[in-house]
Amino acid sequence: MTKPPIFDTLLMERRGRLLTIVLNRPAALNAFDGAMHVEIVEALRFADSDPDSDVIVLTGAGRAFSAGGDLEHMEASIADPEKFDREAADAKRIVFTLLDIDKPVVAKVNGAAVGLGATIALFCDVIFAGESARIGDPHVKVGLVAGDGGAIIWPQLVGFARAKEYLMTGELLPAARAAEIGLINHAVPDAELDARVSAFCDQLIGGATRAIRWTKATVNLELKRIAHALMDPGIAYESVSVRTAEHRQAVQAMKERLKKRNE
């Protein structure tokens, strides 16, 4: 059996033909720093080629799925905007790697899924969330464009009007509301989340493997076409917004709020 690689910011776990990838920065609510940006792509590529698994689960350690962008990482991008430009390709790799994997990828949203965290969850094939989870893309609340995939996937799931409402306000939706409008598949009681995801994955593992994979590939053809059209413009707009006073002021305000909260 192929041994999963070891990462600094992720864990990989096996159960039979099921491979689970765990975002593992619980003290930071699994926010994405530079290392996690790179490692998530490496982990997904391993999962795609892994001969010993048929279904992939993506989840978070602790009480969050992912809080999105790491504050220190945002500050580093403000100090060196070209750093953001160099790392912009990471967002493209994450999105296209998720779209290219032929195995089913199931998101187990065990807590907040915010910004890039929400984007990653929503690009999974089927999304289960615990009832206490909240999901949203608040890029605008830190003066950024939702250019790393949110502007692509939200309209496909909930339509243009709702997508623009939530992306332009940065509102976080309770899991039940997210399921009601079709943003996610299922909102379930927190205590039942693990069992519900396991049962669904077992159903897929017991199904016709090739037919399931090729069905996913067919559905994803249109998503890939849209992603290829929109990722570069979205990242370009986000790159411009990284350089604005609005973004600098929003990040500083966030830093001050966190400081007061921790005092």
CATH assignment at residue 138: 3.90.226.10
The beta strands (E) that lie in 157-216 are given as 173-174, 186-188
Q: What is the pLDDT of residue 254?
A: 85
Q: What is the pLDDT of residue 161?
A: 98
Cα 263 to Cα 261: distance, rounded to the nearest angstrom: 6
Beta bridge partners, 60, equal: 23
Q: Does residue 1 lie in a domain region? A: no
Q: What is the pLDDT of residue 64?
A: 98
Q: Does residue 100 lie in a domain region? A: yes
Q: What is the pLDDT of residue 34?
A: 86
| Residue 103 vs residues 19, 71, 73, 132, 196: alpha-carbon distances, Å | 11, 33, 31, 28, 19
Q: What is the pLDDT of residue 4?
A: 94
Q: What is the pLDDT of residue 85?
A: 82
Q: Does residue 60 lie in a domain region? A: yes
Q: List the domain range (segments joined by +) for residue 235.
A: 10-262
Exposed, middle or buried, 209 (CB in 10 Å: 0-12/13-18/19+)? middle
Q: Does residue 48 lie in a domain region? A: yes
Q: Does residue 2 lie in a domain region? A: no
Q: Does residue 97 lie in a domain region? A: yes
Token pair, residue 80, equals 């060196």
Number of structural domains, the chain? Answer: 1
Q: What is the pLDDT of residue 158?
A: 98
Q: Does residue 31 lie in a domain region? A: yes
Q: What is the pLDDT of residue 88?
A: 77
Q: Does residue 208 lie in a domain region? A: yes
Q: Which residues of the chain have pLDDT under 50?
A: none
Q: What is the pLDDT of residue 69?
A: 80
